Structure 1
Amino acid sequence: MERVALYPGSFDPWTNGHLDILSRAVKMFDKIIVTVAVNNKKNAVFTGEERIKLIEESISSYEWSAQVEVIQFTGLLIDLAREKEVNVLLRGVRQISDFEYEFRMALTNRRLAPEVDTVFLMPDEQLTFISATIVKEIAAWGGDLSSFVPNNVGRALREKYDT
């Protein structure tokens, strides 16, 4: 039986931390479905379609990229898990504050869908401070993004912020 996991997030933008989590997950699962959440109530830098393209571009040179599918979704994650017949959600946890939020979400998802489990992965310790908020701030001020995001994402952020 194929081991498949959903890796959900807004990924606005996709960072080196996200990439690190994905590179760890492909060793544990046969397939990862990266699910780009689109929340129209948030002011996103990139559209859902742009995020999908950036993620696909950033992983295309890895030998494991064929194990990854990138899709967009809106709604309850457990509904998507059921639709895709996936019983594992993959979440990255950088610090204790992340864990508190993710733990509550995992318990909520378990209440709604007992058949779906959540697996937490930590990125490399050198990447634990990276967040989308920090990356956007650096981009807005024209800072060096090279250690925070893949090169293609850095270029796209510079275009968005005209820096």
Structure 2
Amino acid sequence: VNLVERALQFFDRLVVAVAYNPNKASLFSVEERLDMIRIALKNDPRVTAASFDGLLVEFVEKQGANVIVRGLRALSDFEYEFQMTLMNRKLNRKVDTIFLMTGFKWFYTSSKIIKEAASLGGSVRGLVPDVVHQRLKEKFPLYRNVS
């Protein structure tokens, strides 16, 4: 949410892209993730949430956009993102990538850490939007009693 809010300072319209990835075991389905994004962003008319499969650069072009906004947390993120940016640039020279540093509060936060803490009953409130906090309660029995 923080990254989207900050990116809106530079762009009039954003599309939050959620990839179908059959090789990744996600806690939430693509549809659930889209729903949580819409709720967390309070259905901001400047933001659309959409799913895609295939290449991100093709999805971006179909949306009529030419920029991918990505968040960076740590140096390890940069190496991976740099490689992806170079490949995306090779696949479609019309699409550029812009990086925004993650807010300090979320610098060491990842979906893996959030899921692990919640599955063991640890509170992640304040690190995730309220809608995600509630949905985690539905997924993890130990998290149901976390306020």
- TM-score (normalised: structure 2): 0.93
Q: Aligned residue for 1:39?
A: 21
CA deviations over 1:79-119 (Å, ceiling 9, x no partner): 11121121100100001000010011001000110111000
1:127 paired with 2:109, answer: no
Residue of structure 2 aligned with 1:79, choices 58, 79, 83:
58
Q: Residue 45 of structure 2 aligns to a residue in which SS?
A: helix
Using the TM superposition, give the Cα deviation of residue 77 of structure 1 relative to its aligned residue in structure 2, in angstroms: 0.5
Q: Residue 58 of structure 2 aligns to a residue in which SS?
A: helix
Using the TM superposition, give the Cα deviation of residue 41 of structure 1 relative to its aligned residue in structure 2, in angstroms: 1.3
Please list every run of 5 or more consecutive structure 1 residues that lacks an aligned counterpart in the other structure: 1-18
Cα distance in 2 for residues equivalent to 1:155 and 1:141 = 15
Q: Aligned residue for 1:145?
A: 124
- Report how many residues are paired: 142
Aligned ranges 1:22-101 → 2 under 5 Å: 22-60=4-42, 65-101=44-80
Amino acid at match of 2:31: E
The alignment's C-alpha RMSD in Å is 1.0
Using the TM superposition, give the Cα deviation of residue 126 of structure 1 relative to its aligned residue in structure 2, in angstroms: 2.0
Using the TM superposition, give the Cα deviation of residue 28 of structure 1 relative to its aligned residue in structure 2, in angstroms: 0.6
1:154 paired with 2:133, answer: yes
State the identity as a percent: 39
Q: Which runs of 4+ in 1 moved over 3 A?
A: none
Higher relative contact order structure (alpha carbons within 8 Å, sequence separation ≥ 6): 1
Amino acid at match of 1:30: D
Please list every run of 5 or more consecutive structure 2 residues that lacks an aligned counterpart in the other structure: 143-147
Using the TM superposition, give the Cα deviation of residue 147 of structure 1 relative to its aligned residue in structure 2, in angstroms: 2.2
